[in-house]
Structure 1
Amino acid sequence: MRIVTTALLAWLATLQPAQADVYISVSASGAYVLSNVHRPGRQYQRVVAEPGLVATRPELVTGKPYAELIAAAAKANDLPEALLHAVVQAESRYDANARSGAGAMGLMQLMPDTAKELGVSNALDPAANLDGGARYLKRMMKLFDNDIALAVAAYNAGPDAVLSRGRVIPPFAETQRYVPEVLRHYRLLRGE
């Protein structure tokens, strides 16, 4: 079995650059399992690492509005800084006073009930909004096993919309546009 695993890893190394981390584990039946998702509580070994998975090219975010506040919120919530920038870009285009017709407010467009639940008393305060939005995004990342696309979809449409459809991106036109926009901006800020 070691020969098969070694051959598989050698073959993977010859392919084009990886688009995601690849992990290997052993299932309860003794079979080898390859996955691009590291699920908490399971033992994995990373065999292929995506270049710059959480790295942000500093020169790409330094000049952005609220860069220091976003960096602090990202660090406090163990999130990629580029991901927070991508969400802020998609949600408000860095307008701290942005308001949606549905009532969402601020840089990360927190809904009033969500802001209240997160303890954000002033959703138009950039620091409070970024902190609350980052905590909520981190909650979505945990709920969806660090699957960024599903976490971002849940941030936009709500976690129930993703869960009730079997953990897929909901078919709402807004969410179908939103997720690729965030992911595209996230990749750009990582220098991809």
Structure 2
Amino acid sequence: MKRVFILILFFLYSLALVSTVQSAIYKFVDEQGVIHFTDVVPSGVDYEVVRPDRSSFNKDSSLAESLSSYIDRICRKYSVDPELVKKIIKVESGWNPYAVSKKGALGLMQLMPETLKQFGVINPFDPYENIKAGVRYLRYLIDRFEGDLRLALAAYNAGPTTVDRYSGVPPYNETRQYIKTILYRYNKKTISNSKKRTQKIYRIYLDDGTVMFTNTSVYLRDLSSF
């Protein structure tokens, strides 16, 4: 059986967050079984459009609402709080399933090509594939950093090897602000009359030893707060 690899091909203008009106993403498979994504119409091969024009993207909350139950189900399977995943999606892509970052991160959860390959993603712009891989990746990072949510988020943003190299959160403004933003939203902090009200995040140890983070009482069992 051929091993299937993913090759992402983009011109510079498509490596920005999806802001171009004229481009679509085309998918084709070459003779070696390599899957290509490109913003140029392929010639001489069969292809399919996997990202429609920008005009077909609905910016309202309908996508978040329609994916909510799926996120809940996948998160329960991998013992990740769905509220955390939803906050990550909001910060990473603003619920745009066709988002492409300047660094080449793709889709709702802004996964890099090597991460997509690691978790067997065929179409990074498919919300279901992207979310499932993103949740699995987040679970992997939480486990790798022994339940330290700050380090897991730092690794999600800057890469796990970068966190290893600095033995902690790297001194990058982007990464530090990313952690602050995610935790702020996840904590559901509100500012009223210059006062902050913080909802606790709970660390839960499941029967199989898995560490889970949540800010909702539905999971409260054998927990500690921080």
TM-score (norm 1): 0.63
SS in structure 1 of the partner of residue 188 of structure 2: helix
Provide the rounded CA distance (Å) in 1 between the counterparts of 2:188 and 2:166: 29
Give aligned pairs, total.
Answer: 130
2:172 counterpart letter in structure 1: F
Equivalent residue runs for 1:89-168 within 5 Å: 89-166=90-167, 168=168
Could you tell me which runs of 5 or more consecutive residues in structure 2 were left unpaired when the two chains were aligned: 1-62, 190-197, 200-226
SS in structure 2 of the partner of residue 164 of structure 1: helix
Could you tell me which runs of 5 or more consecutive residues in structure 1 were left unpaired when the two chains were aligned: 1-62
What residue number does 2:178 align with?
178
Provide the rounded CA distance (Å) in 1 between the counterparts of 2:160 and 2:113: 16
Computed over aligned residues only, the root mean square deviation of the Cα atoms, in angstroms, reads: 2.1
1:181 counterpart letter in structure 2: T
Q: Which moved more, 1:124-133 or 1:82-91?
A: 82-91
Q: Identity across aligned pairs (percent)?
A: 36
1:120 positional shift: 0.7
1:64 positional shift: 4.0
Provide the rounded CA distance (Å) in 2 between the counterparts of 1:71 and 1:110: 20
Provide the rounded CA distance (Å) in 2 between the counterparts of 1:73 and 1:152: 19
The structure richer in helix per residue is 1
1:76 positional shift: 1.6
Provide the rounded CA distance (Å) in 2 between the counterparts of 1:122 and 1:173: 31
Equivalent residue runs for 1:6-155 within 5 Å: 64-65=64-65, 66-155=67-156
1:187 positional shift: 1.0
TM-score (norm 2): 0.54
1:116 positional shift: 0.9
SS in structure 2 of the partner of residue 101 of structure 1: coil
The runs of at least 4 consecutive aligned structure 1 residues that moved more than 4 Å come to none
